[in-house]
Amino acid sequence: MTTRSPTPTLRLCVYCGSRAGHRPAYAEAATALGRSIGQRGWQLVYGGGQVGLMGIVADAALAAGATAIGIIPDSLMRREVGHAGLTELHVVPNMHLRKQAMAERADAFIALPGGLGTLEELYEVWTWQHLGYHAKPMGLLNTAGYYNAMLGFMAHAEAEGFIDARQQQALHVGTDIESLLDTLEAHCRTTIAGGDYSKI
């Protein structure tokens, strides 16, 4: 394995499903991502759940020695889906504060396969970057072609004049975890960009 010069302070916010999906490749990708976060000496920031891909990536990150920070709304804690084994688990009143707290703690974002919540989180930080609220890099792990249809729609939206190429290029898309993380790390090494989320 190649020895890396880690960025110890890099905090990666991971968006992913509270379900594991039908394909084993999704869980395998979540495990590999969590492991890589730990091996790189990074910190995991995520939604605080113990179920689905969320729990898988957190468990793998913790097993690899990463600090894992979860942000979860009180309503989900009452459903007993909070991960009790995290380094830190912060309970907030609602989803809006959860997403804001996750974004504020992150230096970069990456989305794995997921459902409505994952899509909402990804599009929100993507929109925030476009509006100038942050300049943090964003990645999309397109495991097993899961996001092909979404990417096709985004190309359609560009062709129809609703978004532009610069907005498209702001999202780094890949199928290889290490290459995608290298891209996010390179951006963060240039500038760990903050954000003024108070304006949102």
| pLDDT confidence of residue 191 | 67
Whether 37 has a pLDDT exceeding 90, the answer reads: yes
| pLDDT confidence of residue 198 | 61
Instruction: Compute the average pLDDT of residues 48-62.
Output: 97
Please report, rounded to a whole number, the percentage of residues in the chain having pLDDT higher than 90.
Answer: 86
Looking at the DSSP assignment, which residues form a beta bridge with residue 150?
none
> Which residue is listed with tokens 């951006």?
187
Three-class secondary structure assignment of the chain: CCCCCCCCCCEEEEECCCCCCCCHHHHHHHHHHHHHHHHCCCEEEECCECCHHHHHHHHHHHHCCCEEEEEEEHHHHHCCCECCCCCEEEEECCHHHHHHHHHHHCCEEEECCCCHHHHHHHHHHHHHHHCCCECCCEEEECHHHCCHHHHHHHHHHHHCCCCCHHHHHCEEEECCHHHHHHHHHHHHHHCCCCECHHHC
Rounded mean pLDDT of the chain? 92
| pLDDT confidence of residue 79 | 83
Q: Model confidence over 153-174: pLDDT tens digits? A: 999 999 999 999 999 999 999 9
- In the chain, what are the domains? 11-151+164-191 (3.40.50.450)
- CA-CA-CA-CA torsion for 113, 37, 6, 132, nearest 10 degrees? 40
pTM of this prediction?
0.92
Q: Model confidence over 97-148: pLDDT tens digits? A: 999 999 999 999 999 999 999 999 999 999 999 999 999 999 999 999 999 9
| pLDDT confidence of residue 193 | 55
| pLDDT confidence of residue 196 | 67
Whether 29 has a pLDDT exceeding 80, the answer reads: yes
